[in-house]
Structure 1
Amino acid sequence: MKSYLLVTGDFVKTGGMDRANFALADYLARQGEQVHLVAHRVANELLAYPHVQFHQVPKIGNSYLLSSPLLNRTGRIWAKHLALESARVLVNGGNCQWTDVNWVHYVHAAYEPNHQTGLLHQWKGFVSRRLFLDQEKQALKSARVIIVNSNRTKQDLMDKLSISEHKLHTVYYGINPHIFYPATPAQRAALRQQLGWAEDKTVVIFIGALSDRRKGFDTLFTAWQQLCKSPDWDADLVVIGVGAELPLWQRRATDAGISNIHFLGFRSDVPNLLQAADCLVAPTRYEAYGLGVHEALCCGLPAIVNANAGVAERYPPQLQDLLIPHPDDAVDLATRLQKWSKNKKYYTSLVSSIAQELRGYTWDDMSKSIWQIIS
């Protein structure tokens, strides 16, 4: 039995990197390995394994930023202790300064957030980014092996931090095909009834944090305003996400007299929402990968996304119309939405092939690839 120490904020099934870390921990535990987890939260499913040990780190003030020094310190303490057992230690980005395996889900050096709300919020964003940049650079320079979630991330590390390519290994995220799959017409009709959506209404969905402008909702909002001026545009926009800018966008929609944007806040039924919707839009300015887009495609949903997002690497040539060349170009986005709207059945049929392919690569497949790299 080998020992593994994994360090991250949370091992749960929500969020991109959290879901990926959960999957790896779960896979290693099912192989009968000794798994040590340093984190704030761990799902009960992982705690039920006999060979999983949870070394809990208090979350000070319910803040990941304030708790980061303690997570780093606790991870290093256990890494030194488990070195006696020749354990492999996997950290995430700059969250723990250790020189073994680093799994990178986001490159802070690749994107500078644009905060528009409140001086305190902007100051916090500036301070946290400076901290994350320093931690990221130090941790990645010293890592022996680096796992990345896309070739986009790989290139960012080489360009922004001068990381040697021989240390970098691309492993894409997986999926649970039993949760994310194309709904049958009957299932879709039932879901729409539960959600209160008319069966024949076109529904476009946006999923992303509204804490800054990274996810590009401002571009989508401007494009939507333009589309609503056309008498033949008849669609609803459903927005899933929370953040400091949520009240701002709610006010702007009201002030502009736009009644077909529905802000639903945080939702735990994202698979149902994707299966019931017609299209997902993600004009993100920076996305190391884009698990939400991946999940939408697995549900058979056409997904319009920035061409520079990591997940765009997995789009076949026939879906290039769904890739946005310039995430700030609201006119181009509106044009692509109009084109999709006029050819919905065509784009849905094109997505079916990539949906099948993505659903064939599970979280276990991802985890096995990482296990083989680090074992």
Structure 2
Amino acid sequence: MKICIVTHKLIKGDGQGRVNYEIASAAIRNGYQVTLIATQIDSKLQNHPLVEWVYIPVKIFPSVFLRNLAFSWQSTKWLKTYRKNLDIVVINGAINSFPADINIAHFVHSSWLQSPFHISKQRKNLYGFYQWFYTFLNSYWEKRSFAIAKLVVAVSKKVKDELIEIGVPSEKIQVIFNGVDLEEFSPGYVKRQKIVLPENVTLAMFAGDIRTNRKNLDTVLKALVELPNLHLAVLGNVQNSPYPKMAEDLGISQRVHFLGYRVDVAQIMQTVDMFVFPSRYEACTLVLLEAIASGLPVITAKITGGSEVITSECGILLNSTEDVSELSKALERLTSDRNLREQMGKAGRAIAEQHSWESKAERYLHLFEELIAS
């Protein structure tokens, strides 16, 4: 089988990139030939004899929008020339205009555009307009891409529901949930001193883009005001972030530890006691699975993409992303009960073990084989 995957990156440190990296790795293990149309791929894939890398250079363009346009045009042009040599073409969302055999939907821009927390509704300026325009165009392009694909894979039940809302027939959609690296993310103990975090305190963790309000760190900080015995480690780029100032204004800056962008997420998860992530809009975040695989109890919201794997045995699901009191009570419940944290951590690890990347990648390959056979 000759498989072609079209995506910007095939690397471990990127959500969409990780899914495609795992598919490519599984295809290689099965002896399939893989063509990767991408700007960046993992070093383990670059020199493999079964891999052909079609490099798409876009760095010369000054904005993400222009880089994406350039990638779309170049990748579509290549596929028009060489499609006849391929068995399966996999693209991701609105990455280009070529008819795919399988389109993997990681995010539905139409749903994000309708959210009251979309950046354009929060910032009534030129930047807000740019974000609206960018999301609007992606909404239009992705509807077209999903319509011309033979099959669409949704990375969560939430994404499937959103695809149906924009007109994709239910029978055309299959759900393959994202996975987790069970070796990288596992229960363990790392001294907090190594990460420059305080010892002998109960420590929660939050991770995500903290330059906008989509991930909802603001509600977490407000809830923390009511919990003087709880500290919070925050992972995310602090450049242009309003939240260090917000923590200072709330009088909790001594208990909130901004660690910046980190690549050692798995190690940091082994230093904390719980994970809190009530994101306002998420398609299917990898970080929830990574947290439960690390043996951490999780607090998230029912509407947060990825929360469908979180049960009452391994975490707490909030009814609202905006209810500070509800979140505060959930944090207090875990802060005050170490035995409960340990029980939830063990239950979460058991759930995570059902979602290994290997099992998810094999499901994709099985789907490819079925499509060829039919």
> Taking structure 2 as the reference length, what is the TM-score of the superposition?
0.91
Task: Return the offset for 1:197.
Answer: 3.0
Who is 2:150 aligned against? Answer: 144
Who is 2:26 aligned against? Answer: 27
Contact 1:216–1:285, Cα closer than 8 Å, also in 2: yes
Distance 1:149 1:243 in 2: 29
Which range moved further: 116-125 or 250-259? 116-125
Who is 1:83 aligned against? Answer: 83
Contact 2:211–2:238, Cα closer than 8 Å, also in 1: yes
1:204-223 correspondence to structure 2 within 5 Å: 204-223=204-223
Who is 1:114 aligned against? Answer: 119
Which range moved further: 121-130 or 333-342? 121-130
- Corresponding residue to 1:177 among 179, 182, 187: 182
Return the letter of the residue paired with 2:5: L
3-state DSSP of counterpart to 2:299: strand
Distance 2:310 2:282 in 1: 15
Contact 1:215–1:282, Cα closer than 8 Å, also in 2: yes
Contact 1:93–1:105, Cα closer than 8 Å, also in 2: yes
1:291-310 correspondence to structure 2 within 5 Å: 291-310=286-305
- Corresponding residue to 2:328 among 334, 338, 347: 334
Return the letter of the residue paired with 1:101: I
3-state DSSP of counterpart to 1:25: helix
Unpaired runs of 5+ in structure 1? none
Using a 3 Å threshold, how does the CA distance of structure 1 residues 315 and 256 change in structure 2: closer, same or farther? closer
3-state DSSP of counterpart to 2:275: strand
Task: Return the offset for 1:118.
Answer: 8.2
3-state DSSP of counterpart to 2:96: coil
Which range moved further: 290-299 or 126-135? 126-135
Who is 2:197 aligned against? Answer: 197
Distance 2:307 2:77 in 1: 39
Corresponding position: 1:322 with 2:323: no
Deviations 1:153-178 (A, max 9, x none): 1111112x111011111111122111
3-state DSSP of counterpart to 1:128: helix
Task: Return the offset for 1:121.
Answer: 2.7
1:1-375 correspondence to structure 2 within 5 Å: 2-60=1-59, 61=61, 63-99=63-99, 100-112=101-113, 113-114=118-119, 116=122, 119-159=125-165, 161-183=166-188, 188=189, 190-225=190-225, 227-228=226-227, 233-242=228-237, 245-246=240-241, 248-258=242-252, 259-319=254-314, 322-375=316-369
Return the letter of the residue paired with 2:133: V
Contact 1:212–1:245, Cα closer than 8 Å, also in 2: no
Distance 2:199 2:137 in 1: 48
Task: Return the offset for 1:245.
Answer: 4.6
Which range moved further: 123-132 or 72-81? 72-81
3-state DSSP of counterpart to 2:34: strand
Deviations 1:190-237 (A, max 9, x none): 432312334421111110102322111121122123x15xxxx31211
Who is 2:372 aligned against? Answer: none
The alignment of Structure 1 onto Structure 2 pairs a total of residues equal to 361
3-state DSSP of counterpart to 1:28: helix
Contact 1:214–1:285, Cα closer than 8 Å, also in 2: yes
3-state DSSP of counterpart to 1:310: coil
Distance 2:307 2:251 in 1: 34
Contact 1:289–1:311, Cα closer than 8 Å, also in 2: yes
Contact 2:93–2:104, Cα closer than 8 Å, also in 1: yes
Which range moved further: 248-257 or 135-144? 248-257
Contact 2:156–2:177, Cα closer than 8 Å, also in 1: yes
Distance 2:185 2:160 in 1: 27
Distance 2:238 2:57 in 1: 23
Distance 2:268 2:133 in 1: 36
Using a 3 Å threshold, how does the CA distance of structure 1 residues 361 and 252 change in structure 2: closer, same or farther? closer
Distance 1:309 1:145 in 2: 25
Distance 2:126 2:273 in 1: 38
Task: Return the offset for 1:243.
Answer: 6.2
Distance 2:70 2:198 in 1: 50
Contact 1:92–1:104, Cα closer than 8 Å, also in 2: yes
> Taking structure 1 as the reference length, what is the TM-score of the superposition?
0.91
Return the letter of the residue paired with 1:234: N
Which range moved further: 108-117 or 332-341? 108-117
Using a 3 Å threshold, how does the CA distance of structure 1 residues 371 and 156 change in structure 2: closer, same or farther? same
Distance 1:274 1:26 in 2: 26
3-state DSSP of counterpart to 1:162: coil
Using a 3 Å threshold, how does the CA distance of structure 1 residues 250 and 135 change in structure 2: closer, same or farther? same
Percent of matched pairs sharing the same residue: 25
Task: Return the offset for 1:269.
Answer: 0.5
Contact 2:230–2:335, Cα closer than 8 Å, also in 1: no
